[in-house]
Structure 1
Amino acid sequence: MLALLAFAMVATFMALIMSGRVSALVALSLTPVVFGVMAGHGLDLGPMMLDGIKALAPTGVMLAFAILYFGLMTDAGLFDPLVRQVVRLADGDPVRITVGSAILALAVSLDGDGSTTYLICCTAMLPLYRRMGLNPLILACLLMLACGVTNITPWGGPTARAASALNLDAGQVFASMAPAMALSGLFIVGVAWLLGRGERRRLERLSGDGRLHVPDEEVLAIELTRGNDLIERPKLILVNLALTLGLLTCLVLGLLPIPALFILATAIALLINYPSVDAQKARIAAHAPNILPVISLIFAAGIFTGILNGTHMTEALADSVVGAIPPALGPYMAPVTALLSMPFTFFISNDAFFFGVLPVLSEAAGHYGVEPVEMARAALTSQAVHLLSPLVPSTYLLVGLCRVELAQHQKFTLPWAVALTIVLLAGGIVTGVIPVSG
């Protein structure tokens, strides 16, 4: 019964946001409460909601100050040279712009932090997309696909979870996946080329004369950066670059908790670039509209995950699916796990999947000669689909930065995310690190 309620709750939530009948904030907040009451709970839902909010609070704080920090860096002109270089290399060609977006995202996302990747790449590329009339859903798609591959690095999070859950070394899980990841990176660049070709044809049709009209390179660069000139902007690009590189280094090394690092970096950026109190207040107020929608959705997602976990719907959902696997599929548990990980990591958190579901699947696979390390690799292939989940906080940051609706982003990106999972799985099978059968 609990498993049926869990399925119904997730299906209702997805139907509400995909249909556009209510906002994601409303669906995230009210849907779990209704189904929590149907599951026999009442006032005890309050502590569950609070637990979920507390769990996501550090992420909410991190994103709030990350948005503010990178907004300040944009105001101060840090990214202007990058924007000009992108404009020069793109030469007004949609294909070059999309392929460049994919390559930039793959490079930046190697730090394992999706939020930082979204902030840097959107800052550099989104103005060009909007000026050229390109679909911002393409940028959101390419950034998420790139993070779906680079998340497999040992410092990205999912690999560490899989290794911990199965008592493995994270490096052992990751190292042999590198060829499959490289193949997946080429696939993403290919997707970017296809999407860019489609945009080029669309813009040519819209032009009226069947030609692509490209603005002058210098004029375009000035247009994309002149907004920063309206700010009381100091000429401290090298100082800000050093601060940002120092921040990224500290993030990778984990010297302090991520929220604390962004708070301190934001305070230093304000002090260096806008020393007067009035200027600091003005900059904070200017970026508040970008921060509030993201943070409100994150805390609403806390209510959803809190009730989903607190009512034990997560466990019921996992047990029902695992129990439905027929014994005949036992020898093929590695590819089965890869395919199952797509819906699992979409509807429940990575923690719930890797620590709750993967050990059960791995135990069953062991009876057919499939090693735990092979199961861990198979389970990691679906991270691109996972990042589309409404339970992933950074997803709200991405759609907020690109100014698109979550449902639009999911519809546009899901087919490519599924295809990327298949490519990553196929790469693992071809290289022999993920067995077809035990």
Structure 2
Amino acid sequence: MLTLLGLGMILCFMYLIMTRRMSALVALTLIPVIFALIAYVLGFFFDSLSHIEIQNLGEMMLEGVKKLAPTGIMLLFAILYFAIMIDTGLFDPSVKWILRLVKGDPLKVTLGTITLTLIVSLDGDGSTTYMICVAAMLPLYKRLGMSPLVMACLMMLSSGIMNLTPWGGPTARAASALHVDPSDVFVPMIVPMICAIAWVYFMGYMYGRMERKRLGIITLDVSHGDNIQISSNPEANRAHLRWFNTLLTVVLMICLVKSVLPMSVLFMIALCIALVVNYKDINMQKDLIAHHAGSALNVVGIIFAAGIFTGILAGTGMVDSMSKELVAIIPESMGPFLAPITAVLSMPLTFFMSNDAFYYGVLPVLSEAALHYGISPVEMARAAIVGQPVHLLSPLVPSTYLLCGLAGIDFGQHQKFAIKWAILTCLVMMLGGLIFGGFPFYSTLP
């Protein structure tokens, strides 16, 4: 009965958010509460549910929220930090330098597209990344006669890889769903991400050579780059403090990789230093935080709501029950391969369902089953984030529609052109994860 209730709760949750009948925040909160109450009522008729008590439901939910609190705090301050860095104009020189460097060479244009997207993607917001990068690069593609499909594909793949940063979304979701530290998920995946980035650069080089052979090199005026501003608030620009902001960001990245302090604390400290140094006016500090609060709240709210979902899923015993059933149907010979199986499944599953549905609905069940074969939750979390480049081709991802609209291409054309490269990028990342120890190819029983 617990298995049926657990499956029913997950399927109901997935259906409601995929059909847009509920937002992820609302569904993550209300659906588990409703199913927990159903389980309580059924407990009068089924002994397997008799342990569920009304007074314990609050404790389950609160326990789930407590476990996700560090992740929620980290995301809040990470999003605000990178938003403030964009406001200060930290990335403006990078954009202008890339535009001047590529000029009229199609090969340099494709490589510059990747570099620019990787830099701008640090803020973790796909929509912002596409708006900035398309505004900077599309005039060059049009002037040279290059295909905007190539541009959109390279931007999407680069963004999909950089989206694996803990503040980007998927890593935080996987970590919160399995109650592990996002830094423990992210840091071992840095080298596999670099492998995937190298592969995307190879793609860009290949297409750039093809376009250079077809079009040649044209002398262009790239002065439009001087008018490109990433920040939406010109008054917040602090060009004279760019050296300080660069140093602060580099030190922050080093401290994150070295785990000097918890990620949430590091971002809190870095944000406060950035605000105090860049903006002496307290009212301006408040205005900037308020301006970016909406995007931060959307992500953080979902993380805390996920605490209720995972708390009830675990506290009632639904996850344990479903994992036992899953283990029972998985052939004994396939169990030790659950990590790479999860990595492969993350591609189609995150394509046909949202990240919330996959990470909060499917991944906990797979992870619980993998424990029986000696595969830790943090290894399963790493494997589960591999499929993100394919996920961005999903019709459920709003930012991809924005990319296609800005680039002036058809969504179906974009999918057809990019799907094979997205799959290959995921496979390269998976191979990197297996080779460099992100997750095991085969695990024996502990």
TM-score category of the 2 structures, normalised to the smaller one: 0.5 to 0.7
Give runs of aligned pairs for residues 317-336 of structure 1, distance below 5 A.
317-327=322-332, 330=333, 332-335=334-337
Counterpart contact for 1:29–1:304, Cα < 8 Å:
yes
Structure 2 counterpart of 1:65, which letter?
A: F
Superposition deviation, residue 243 in structure 1:
1.2
Corresponding residue number in structure 2 for 1:211: none
Q: State whether residues 136 and 402 of structure 1, in contact with CA within 8 Å, keep that contact through their aligned partners in structure 2.
A: no
Q: Which stretches in structure 1 are left out of the alignment for 5+ residues?
A: 110-115, 151-155, 165-169, 201-214, 363-371, 390-397
2:84 to 72, 75, 79: 72
Which of 318, 338, 341 is matched with 1:339 structurally? 341
Q: 2:295 aligns with which of 290, 309, 312?
A: 290
**Counterpart in 1 of 2:17?**
17
Q: 1:340 to 1:59 in 2, by over 3 A?
A: closer
Question: Structure 1 residue 143 and structure 2 residue 159: aligned?
Answer: yes
* One-letter amino acid of the structure 1 residue matched with residue 261 of structure 2: L
Distance 2:260 2:18 in 1: 40
1:269 aligns with 2:274: yes
Deviation of the 1:84 alpha carbon: 1.5
**What corresponds to 2:65 in structure 1?**
53
Query: Structure 1's 417 and 315: CA in aligned 2 closer, same or farther, altered over 3 A?
Result: farther
1:384 and 1:418 in contact (8 A); partners too: no
Separation (CA, whole Å) in 1 of partners of 2:399 and 2:75 = 11
Contact 1:122–1:402 (Cα < 8 Å) also in 2? no
User: Against the structure 1 CA distance between its residues 246 and 8, is the aligned structure 2 distance closer, same or farther, given a 3 Å change threshold?
Assistant: same
Once the 2 structures are TM-superposed, how far is the Cα of residue 324 of structure 1 from its aligned partner? 0.6
1: CA distance, partners of 2:108 / 2:263: 34
The 5 Å alignment of 1:426-437 reads 434=441
- Are positions 1:2 and 2:12 aligned together? no
Could you say if the C-alpha distance between residues 129 and 9 of structure 1 is closer, same or farther in structure 2, counting changes exceeding 3 Å? farther
Aligned to 1:128, which of 122, 133, 143?
133
Aligned length: 374
Equivalent in the alignment of 1:217: 222
1:379–1:360 CA distance, 2 compared to 1 (3 A):
farther
> In 1, distance between residues paired with 2:386 and 2:325?
24
Contact 1:102 1:142 in 2 (8 A): yes
Offset, 1:269: 1.0
Q: Give the whole-Å Cα distance in 2 for the aligned partners of 1:189 and 1:124.
A: 18
Task: Please say if residues 75 and 228 of structure 1, whose CA atoms lie closer than 8 Å, have aligned partners that are also in contact.
Answer: yes
Q: Kindly report which structure 2 residues correspond to 1:231-310, keeping only aligned pairs within 5 A, or say none.
A: 231=236, 233=238, 235-310=240-315
Q: Does the residue aligned with 1:255 lie in a helix, a strand or coil?
A: coil
Deviation, 1:277, is: 1.9
Given the superposition, is the C-alpha separation of residues 188 and 309 from structure 1 closer, same or farther in structure 2, using an over 3 Å criterion?
A: farther
Q: Give TM-score, length-normalised by structure 1.
A: 0.64
Check conservation: 1:145, 1:188, Cα contact below 8 A: no
Q: CA RMSD in A?
A: 5.4
Deviation at 1:273, TM superposition (A): 0.8
Task: After TM superposition, give the deviation of residue 241 of structure 1 in Å.
Answer: 0.9
2:111–2:204 CA contact under 8 A, matched in 1? yes
- List aligned pairs for 1:131-210, cutoff 5 A: 139=155, 142-145=158-161, 184-185=196-197, 188=200
User: In structure 1, how many angstroms separate the alpha carbons of the residues matched to 2:111 and 2:327?
Assistant: 39
Task: Specify the SS of the correspondent of 2:82.
Answer: helix
Distance in 2, matches of 1:226 and 1:352, equals: 39
Q: Give the fraction of aligned pairs with identical amino acids, expressed as a percent.
A: 32
Which whole-Å CA distance do the structure 1 matches of 2:97 and 2:340 have between them? 39
SS of the equivalent of 2:260 reads: coil
- 1:270 aligned partner, one-letter code: L
Task: Find the residue that maps to 2:386 and give its secondary structure.
Answer: helix
Q: Structure 1 residue 272: deviation in Å? A: 0.8
Using the alignment, how far apart are the partners of 1:149 and 1:64 within structure 2? Answer: 14
User: What residue number does 1:368 align with?
Assistant: none
Give the match for residue 62 of structure 1.
Answer: 74
Change (3 A) 1:6 1:76: same
- Report the CA distance shift for 1:359/1:37 in structure 2 as closer, same or farther (over 3 A): same
Shift of 1:145: 3.8
Deviations 1:63-116 (A, max 9, x none): 21112222221221111111223434566999977765656777x79xxxxxx9
**Which of these residues, 382, 385, 389, is aligned with residue 383 of structure 1?**
385
Cα deviation, residue 237, structure 1: 0.5
SS in structure 1 of the partner of residue 247 of structure 2? helix
Are 2:337 and 2:442, in contact at CA under 8 Å, matched by a contact in 1? yes
Superposition deviation, residue 3 in structure 1: 1.5
Q: Is the 1:48–1:306 contact (alpha carbons within 8 Å) kept by the matching residues of 2? A: yes
- SS of the aligned residue for 1:39 comes to helix
Q: Which amino acid aligns with 1:254?
A: S
* Counterpart amino acid of residue 339 in structure 1: I
Where 1:224 maps in the other structure, the secondary structure is coil
Segments of structure 2 that go 5 or more residues without pairing to the other structure are 41-51, 139-147, 167-171, 212-219, 350-354, 392-396, 404-410
Question: 2:110–2:205: 8 Å Cα contact kept in structure 1?
Answer: yes
Counterparts in 2 of 1:392-407, with a 5 A limit? none
Can you list the C-alpha shifts for 1:384-421, whole angstroms capped at 9, x where unaligned?
248999xxxxxxxx9899989xxx9xxx8999876655
Deviation at 1:321, TM superposition (A): 0.9
- Does the 8 Å contact 1:64/1:295 carry over to 2? yes
Q: Deviations over 1:298-331 (max 9, x none)?
A: 211221111111112222222111111234xx2x
Q: Do the aligned residues in 2 keep the contact of 1:119 with 1:401 (CA within 8 Å)?
A: no
How far 1:379 moved relative to its partner?
A: 8.9
Distance 1:340 1:245, change over 3 A: closer
Moved more, 269-278 or 377-386: 377-386
Write the distance in 2 (CA, Å) between the matches of 1:268 and 1:83: 25
Whether the 8 Å contact between 1:83 and 1:221 is mirrored in structure 2 is no
Q: Does 1:31 align with 2:31?
A: yes
Distance change in 2, residues 1:377/1:54 (3 Å): closer
Quick one: structure 1 residues 254 and 121, their matched pair in 2 at CA, closer, same or farther if it must change by over 3 Å?
A: farther
